[in-house]
Chains A and B, each alone.
Chain A
Amino acid sequence: MREQVLHIDTNTFSDSVEAVGGIDVSFCYQCGKCAAGCPVGYEMDMTPTQLMHAIQLGLKDVVYDSKTMWLCASCQTCSTRCPQGVDIAEVMDSVKILMQREKKEAQIPDVLKFNQSFVENLTWFGRLYELGMIGVLKLRTRKFTQDLGMGMAMVKKQKFSFLPSFHGAREVRKIFSRVKKLEKA
């Protein structure tokens, strides 16, 4: 019987995670405290602890196929409680950033689309133009009826600004293009 060979690339994967956010996952000793306190753990396919282990083992495909980092709410509970001082929330960000650089598919695409629509909105307006961002996001996710009721109630209460502001838009565009250049270098 042939054994299935898993693609294991221990050094390079955890190193590239560290290169993005500066967090060394080898400090994790798998105590499970991050998994115990995670408010979104019930939705995840791997617990944060398991994700950390997979990164340690260099199981890049397993990590990239997981929903876990896309469901991280960045509440920082794990990073605050980790007895080893590992900033787990930063690791989640680092993996997401790597996946975007490598143009990988996100298991929760709506979250990726939200992040991208948000950042794109800033390059247009400098400050977030909420209605504009939601409009673009709806076009991308095609979920036009989701939250329609709440949205209308918020419009009725005049919660949104109807017109965007353009304060600092040019400055943000400049910063964005410099960041892109610096990140390529």
Chain B
Amino acid sequence: MKYAYYPGCSLHSTGREFDTSLLGVCKKLGVELVEPKEWVCCGSTAAHNVSRLMATALPMTNLALVNEMGLDQVIVPCAECFSKFKIAQHNVKTDKKLRKDVIKAIHNDCNDDVKVLHPLSIFAEEPLLSRISALTGRDLSKLKVACYYGCLLVRPPEVTQFDVAEYPETMDNVLRAAGITTVDWSHKTMCCGASFAVSKPDIVVNLSHKVIEAAKSAGADAIAVACPMCHANLDARQGDMATEFGTHPKMPILYFTQLLGYSFGFTPEELLLNKHLTDAEKVLANAALNA
């Protein structure tokens, strides 16, 4: 299985552990990911606030690169990039004037046939789902995980075409295939504060705290995420939550790929578990020990 791979800016910087763990897991699963050399930022949270044409042109110029590689499917793990790719494809399909302008702006064809996929979507289907079960070496059934999908994978559903918008289960199914217990809870798709990470952190601290509290009250030992922005907000803001609300949540936040990798038997170093601000190694080690 061969796919183009668009990591996006975060996975080369603050979300490097997502990149490393995804590549490790994919290698084990026999999925080949090829990164186009000259990819650029998708525009992320900012471009659509400044110019709609810019926000559409940036994803489309990246999709043109995929096409030039002779591939027709691209794996986009960052939920922010995933959403921007999907929205751009949707907009050039529905808005003819925009499509013309995008072609002029990127000096390339508007490629809305390239299939933009989140890794969860391919992991949740056969043959990979069975392969995940077969590769599971560590028993993590004692670990209770709250799968947090956030906003951009699921909304708007007619654009992202990813599971059920209000109560998705794709990540739950993937982690369950690896023998991990996942919990039913209320805040699967509530916003963490997203792009306000640096511009309006008080909102992030408040919203992310609600997400963590909801996971706690559902009995979760850890939260699994699929987005580097959700990760940064939930993991790195716990110190501020302690200042604001009196107690440190001490909730480990892990990328779903780190959980898969750990269940396959990867070492914490291979999964860059030490990169998190809130300790995530102990909870995994304990779960494996008590199994």
Contact = CB atoms under 8 A, between A and B. Distances in A.
Interface of A: 20-22, 39-40, 43, 71, 73-77, 79-80, 87, 93-94, 96-97, 100, 108, 110-111, 113-116, 118-119, 122, 126-128, 130, 134, 137, 146-147, 149-150, 153-154, 157-161, 165, 167-169, 171-172, 174-176, 178-179, 182-183
Contacts of B51: 97, 179, 183
Contact of A179 (B105, B194, B276, B277): B105
Question: How would you classify the secondary structure of chain A's contact residues: helix, strand, loop or mixed?
Answer: helix
A119 B203 contact: no
Question: How would you classify the secondary structure of chain B's contact residues: helix, strand, loop or mixed?
Answer: helix
Nearest to A176: B54
B interface, size bucket = 35 or more
Given A76-B151, A130-B13, A146 B201 contact: yes
A73 B196 contact: yes
Nearest to B165: A80
B9 A167 contact: no
Contacts of B276: 157
Contacts of B237: 150
Nearest to B237: A150
Given A153-B236, A174-B107, A175-B61, 17 more contacts: A21-B52, A40-B191, A73-B151, A73-B196, A74-B45, A75-B191, A79-B156, A80-B157, A96-B49, A97-B52, A113-B199, A114-B198, A116-B46, A167-B37, A171-B40, A179-B54, A179-B57
B198 A147 contact: yes
Interface in B32-77: 37-41, 43-54, 57-58, 61
Contacts of B105: 175, 178-179, 182
Contacts of B156: 76, 79-80, 87
Contacts of B61: 171, 175
A67 B49 CA distance: 15
12 contacts: A93-B48, A111-B196, A115-B45, A119-B46, A128-B10, A149-B239, A150-B240, A159-B13, A171-B61, A175-B106, A179-B53, A182-B101
B287 interface: no
B118 to A, nearest CB: 16
B277 A153 contact: yes
Contact of B275 (A40, A128, A159): A159
B57 to A, nearest CB: 5
Interface in B128-181: 151-152, 155-157, 165
A18 B126 CA distance: 43
A73 B191 contact: yes
Contacts of B236: 150, 153-154
A183 B288 CA distance: 57
Contact of A111 (B37, B200, B275): B200
